[in-house]
Amino acid sequence: MRWSRYFWHTSKEEPSDAEAPSHKLLLKGGFIKQVSAGIYELTPPGLRVLRKIEGVVRKEMDRSGAQEVLLTVLNPAELWKETGRWELYGRELFTLKDRNGREYCLGPTQEEEVTDLVRSFVRSYRQLPVVLYQIQVKFRDEKRPRFGLIRGREFIMKDAYSFDADQFSAMISYESMKFAYERIFKKLRLKTLMVEASVGTIGGISSHEFVVLTDYGEARVAYCEGCGYAGNAEVVKLPKNGEEEEEEKPLMELETPHTDTIEKLSSFLRVPSRKIIKSVLYLVDGSKPILFLIRGDRNVDENKVEAVLGTENFRLAEDKEVRELLKTEKGFIGPFNLPPSVRVYWDNSTYGLKNVVIAFNRPNYHYVNANPRRDFSYGEFVDVCEVEEGDPCPKCGAPLRVSKGLELGHIFLLGTRYSEPMKAFYRDPQGQEKPIVMGCYGIGISRCMSALVEQYHDEKGIKWPTPVAPFELDLICVNTSDPQQREVADKLYLLAEEMGIETIYDDRDESPGFKFADADLCGFPYRLVVGKKVKEGKVELQDRHRGERQDLDIDRAVDELKALIEKDRQTP
């Protein structure tokens, strides 16, 4: 491809609307163009990268036995009503009506559609298992789109769905998909972590996420450097500690004005926050009060709360509601003399504490040196504590590391969540009608593009790994008005193309610095510079990843380059 005729336009200015490196560099490098919040167009080079990522994914999916389909973007509401998700999915669902008033959504994920497809053909266990996948545009009206392609409202996803006759068979499908994912990310050269993930309210059996560790992700990931355990923070179980060995001091009732936060209370009483029991009031379905007691230095993880309550329809009580329900003020809530309607849960972190500070629903007062059994009794224990760095690994007990992660892939053993309500049944060998056991498996293709830039860039620009680079080689003619350079560059270009090297030939009539800067920005793994040294029969090869340069004989340059690229395509 000759750059002088290629629709690729980079910018010298830093894009003002971008924050994340990947967002900045993809915009500046002319790979994407924003249309609206969370909606981006891909330019020719941007699409080339995306297609390469798709190619890797497609190849591994096919190899795993999955079969590609193309479902529709526009989906009738009826299917979504069968599973109840028309309501459950909420405002994130893009919906519209046709001219006759029939309702549709733009697919955010397509369990309903694919289940409908399968149920219309599958009758017998003999037709199972089957795994279908597609690479398709998806729509989610995100509350807050951000960071370019990382969280978009329109994005490209690979979604796969497995259909098996029974649980055991479904687990085999699940495991084989897990291996396929590991191969995919390895081939994309993305350093991902496979973490245990939440099965959520859907009631699945198993779930794993593939995340890259980066500040520009929305997930919190805990991992153990000792034994290799890794989990999404919301699924990492935190156990009870042993009882503190401490002499029980006499209980006191102290006036504690203006201490409506743990921090204020801690400094007022000169007591560490871990010796305070915090009470957090939630309302389920907008009315049912649930009180969580947790150690003062820890926070409630609402994802864990969701698991405990079995619903996501809950929220913190407002100040006014605290007053009405508990006749006290925020900051002075405690487990004493509560109305019977209040359900109380003790987080594991509160177990075994001695001589704690705890409120008793009287504004501006706290108990000091309260002790379990003597002054209060525990109730039901749960784990709703947000995991923090240093918490014990659930497998080996070593201190955990916690990091922000970006979820690139998610695999999910669904069970019969969709097949049952949608009546996707088959006949087993005994002639019994049974629901198909399903799994679903996503990869954010466009998100991978951002993740690659996050992992491969420097101050100057992107450093695409060879398997996903828009072009493997950038052939630069330094001075296009020098006939000799021009002639050599033209020749090398044709030769490189001939040899099957994906080449962009920078034949633009621009200054050398301009072309070098673009080369760095756009991230080609290899660069061949045709400049002054042609007089000595040499051209210069530059490696973007290693930063190395070497002079090659003009006649042998493409051959040597070909060998390098060939090797680079293969590994690992």
Partner RNA sequence: CGGGGUGUGGCUCAGGUGGCAGAGCGCCUGCUUCGGGAGCAGGAGGUCAGGGGUUCAAGUCCCCUCACCCCGACCA
Within 529-558, the residues that bind RNA by CB under 7 A are 529-533, 539-540, 542, 549
Question: Least CB distance from residue 270 to RNA, whole Å?
Answer: 17
Helix then strand then coil, in percent of the chain rounded to 5, is 30, 30, 40
Query: H or E stretch including 520?
Result: helix 512-522
DSSP string of 417-431, one letter each residue: TTTTTTT-EEE-TTS
Measured from the CB atom, is 182 or 260 closer to RNA?
Answer: 260
Contact positions with RNA (CB under 7 A) in 112-171: 143-147
Query: Please, which residues bridge with residue 195 across strands?
Result: 209
- C-beta of 170 vs 305, nearer to RNA: 305
Q: Which is nearer to RNA, 107 or 296 (CB)?
A: 296
Place of tokens 């994914």: 57
> 15, 55, 65, 421: which one contacts RNA (CB under 7 A)?
15
One-letter identity of residue 366: H
Cβ contacts of residue 374 below 8 Å, gap of 6+? Answer: 248, 251
- Nearer to RNA by Cβ, of 29 and 394: the residue is 29
Closer to RNA by CB, 71 or 517: give it: 517
Residue placing its CB nearer to RNA in the complex, 18 or 499: 18
Q: Does 478 bind RNA (CB under 7 A)?
A: yes
Among 26, 28, 113, 134, binds RNA (CB under 7 A): 28
| Closest among 540, 513, 507, 555 to 1, alpha carbons compared | 507
The answer to whether 542 touches 527, Cβ cutoff 8 Å, is: yes
Q: How many whole angstroms separate alpha carbon 210 and alpha carbon 550?
A: 38
Rounded to the nearest 5°, which phi and psi values hold at 229? Answer: -65, 140
Query: How near is the Cβ of 342 to RNA at its closest, in Å?
Result: 12
Q: How far is the CB of 567 from RNA (least distance, A)?
A: 23
Strand 39-42, strand 526-530: pairing: unpaired
Comparing CA positions, the residue from 291, 277, 372 lying closest to residue 337 is: 291
Q: Closer CB to RNA, residue 13 or residue 245?
A: 13
Q: Which is nearer to RNA, 98 or 560 (CB)?
A: 560
Contact between 21 and RNA by CB under 7 A: the answer reads no
Residue 407 Cβ, how far from RNA at the closest point, in Å? 16
In terms of Cα–Cα distance, which of 172, 195, 227 is closest to 406? 195
CB-based burial, 175-190: b 16+ in 10 Å, e otherwise: eebbebbeebbebbbb
The interface mask with RNA, positions 375-414, x = CB under 7 A, is -----------x----------------------------
Q: How many Cα neighbours within 13 Å face the side chain of 230? A: 18
C-beta of 386 vs 454, nearer to RNA: 386
CB 429 within 8 A of CB 125: yes
- Structure tokens given for 450: 């951002």
- Closest approach, Cβ 328 to RNA, in A, equals 8
Q: Which amino acid is at 522?
A: C
516 touching RNA, by CB under 7 A = yes
- Residues 475 and 3: their CA atoms lie apart, in Å, by 10
**Binding segment toward RNA, per CB under 7 A, in 95-103, 238-246, 441-449, 519-527:** 519-527
Residue owning tokens 């369990």: 111
Least distance to RNA from the beta carbon of 301, Å? 7
Residue type, 523: G
Residue among 4, 5, 11, 167 that touches RNA (CB under 7 A): 11
Exactly one of 31, 80, 282, 360 binds RNA (CB under 7 A); that residue is 282
Buried b (16+ CB within 10 A) or exposed e, 100-121: eeeebbbbbbbbbbbbbbbbee
Among 169, 201, 364, 479, binds RNA (CB under 7 A): 479
> Which one of residues 34, 95, 201, 355 is an interface residue with RNA (CB under 7 A)?
34
Phi, psi of 508 (to 5 degrees): -70, 150
Output the smallest distance, CB 11 to RNA, in A. Answer: 5
Residue from 13, 245, 380, 555 binding RNA (CB under 7 A): 13
CB-CB contact of 152 with 446 (8 Å): yes
Helix (H) or strand (E) holding 415: strand 401-415
Q: Rule CB under 7 A: which of 290-349 touch RNA?
A: 294, 296, 299-302, 315-319, 322, 330-333
**Shorter beta-carbon distance to RNA: residue 180 or 290:** 290
- Of 119, 208, 278, 295, the one binding RNA (CB under 7 A) is 278
Least CB distance to RNA at residue 452 (A): 18
Dist. CA 30–CA 40, nearest whole Å: 12
Choose the stretch contacting RNA; rule: CB under 7 A; options: 64-72, 426-434, 508-516, 564-572: 508-516
Q: What is the DSSP letter of 531?
A: S
Q: Which is nearer to RNA, 170 or 290 (CB)?
A: 290
Q: What is the closest distance, in whole angstroms, from the C-beta atom of residue 22 to RNA in the complex?
A: 11
Tell whether residue 509 is a contact of RNA (CB under 7 A). Answer: yes
In the shown chain, the binding pattern of residues 37 to 66 toward RNA, with x for contact by CB under 7 A and - for none, equals xx----------------------------
Per-residue binding string, RNA, 243-262, x by CB under 7 A, is -----------------xxx
d(CA 181, CA 188): 10
Nearer CB in complex with RNA: 15/352: 15
Binding residues with RNA: total (CB under 7 A) = 77
**Number of C-beta neighbours around residue 254 at 10 A:** 14
Residues 160-219 that bind RNA (CB under 7 A): none
Q: Least Å distance between CB 79 and RNA? A: 26
Instruction: Indicate the DSSP class of residue 189.
Output: T
> What's the min distance (Å) between Cβ of 208 and RNA?
25
Is 271 in a helix, a strand, or coil? coil
- For helices 445-455 and 44-63, give the axis angle rounded to 10 degrees: 110
CB of 284 to RNA, least distance (A): 12
